[in-house]
Amino acid sequence: MLPRLKTEDVRGIDAYGLKHRARGWGASLIGVADLERLRGIQTEPADLLSGFTRAVSLGVRLSDPVLDAIVDQPTPLYAQHYQKVNALLDDLALRVSLALQSAGGRALPLPASQVLDAANLTSYLSHKAVALAAGLGWQGKSLLLVTPQCGPRVRLVTVLTDVDLAPDTPLANRCGHCRACTEACPAQAIRGVNTTSHYASREEALFFDRCRTKVLDEFAKLPHISGGICGVCVSVCPFGKRGGKKGCNRGGSRGASKRP
């Protein structure tokens, strides 16, 4: 087993400094997860987390006007915006990885949106699970990460590292009795079941086949729409709507307000 790198063993890298730099590069949200919270999570390959002790979760806020225009299906503007934000996330992950590596640590950037299993729509690991463990938000009834600052109007990416960055604390679920996403879902795929931390499986929260069929067999065939996107549950979440101008870019980084 590889030894864990302590923060003082690397040159000038700690969670505070990394978060500050990432915000300057364009991150709206950033948090650090202790990978002990994610042991046993499904990954590809199965030993993906081996040798790493932390995961840096980065988020970029989506455009409110783009999301507000979505009613019951994705729009061409959302499809293009989605791709551009994913590209920015990949750039952020690379920059964070290079910073950690230059400081003497190991860092593995994972793609923001690369599907490895088309049938189950899964990738190397769940960016949402990492963000949940990193304290960026909680798991909503739609299975999306819901953040206090901008609801689910955020895309995510992950960097694995062995640098012993100070981890953040997960947040309590705040969805309560809200049924906005459940009632708006065009596939009627959201069961409306709440959770205190996270769901044991996707099927506990969703009728996943309904969601997949709607997205891949119907929405993907719309003009100028490609890939498995919808956006309706993202658009209607009250946390996203009331985030408004305060948004993610003001105080959105976990633990970034003061140096420990």
Q: What long-range pairs does 14-20 form, CB within 8 A, spacing at least 24?
A: 14/165, 14/166, 14/259, 14/260, 15/165, 15/166, 15/167, 15/255, 15/260, 16/255, 16/256, 16/258, 16/259, 16/260, 18/56, 18/96, 18/99, 18/100, 18/165, 19/253, 19/254, 19/255, 19/256, 20/256
pLDDT at 257 over 50: no
Length of the chain: 260
Residue type, 131: A
Q: Is residue 248 part of a domain?
A: no
For the stretch 204-240, pLDDT in tens is 999 999 999 999 999 999 999 987 899 999 999 999 9
pLDDT at 260 over 60: no
3-state secondary structure of 22: helix
Whether the CB-CB separation of 212 and 156 falls below 8 Å is answered with no
Q: What is the pLDDT of residue 250?
A: 41
For residue 248, the model assigns a pLDDT of 59
Domain assignment present for 256: no
Which pLDDT does position 207 carry in this prediction? 95
- Residue type for position 257: S
The reply to whether 260 falls in a domain is no
Parent domain of 31: 7-243
What's residue 10's pLDDT?
A: 45
In a domain, 251, yes or no: no
161 assigned to some structural domain: yes
Question: What is d(CA 206, CA 76) in angstroms, rounded to the nearest whole number?
Answer: 26
Other C-beta atoms closer than 10 Å to the C-beta of 22 total 23
Q: Is residue 25 part of a domain?
A: yes
Cα separations in angstroms, 255 against 34, 172, 223: 14, 16, 42
The one-letter code for the residue type at 182 is T
Q: DSSP of 132-168, one letter per residue?
A: HHTTS-EE-TTSSEEBTTTBT-EEEEEEEE-B-PPPP
The model's pLDDT over 39-89, given as tens digits with 9 standing for 90+, comes to: 889 999 999 999 999 999 999 999 999 999 999 999 999 999 999 999 999
**Mean pLDDT over each residue of the chain, to the nearest integer:** 89
Which strands sit side by side in the sheet containing 107-110, from one edge to the other?
Answer: 29-34, 54-61, 154-161, 107-110
Q: 61 lies in a domain?
A: yes
Residues 151, 103 contacting (CB under 8 angstroms) = no
Assess whether pLDDT exceeds 80 at residue 7: no
What's the domain count of the chain? 1
What was the pLDDT predicted at 253? Answer: 53
pLDDT at residue 182 tops 50: yes
Q: What are phi and psi of 33, to 5 degrees?
A: -105, 135
pLDDT digits (tens, 9 = 90+) for 125-178: 999 999 999 999 999 999 999 999 999 999 999 999 999 999 999 999 999 999
DSSP string, 173-205: P--TT--HHHHH-TT--B-----SS--SSHHHH
103 in a domain, yes or no? yes
pTM for the complete prediction? 0.89
Of 164, 170, 173, nearest to 5 (Cα)? 164
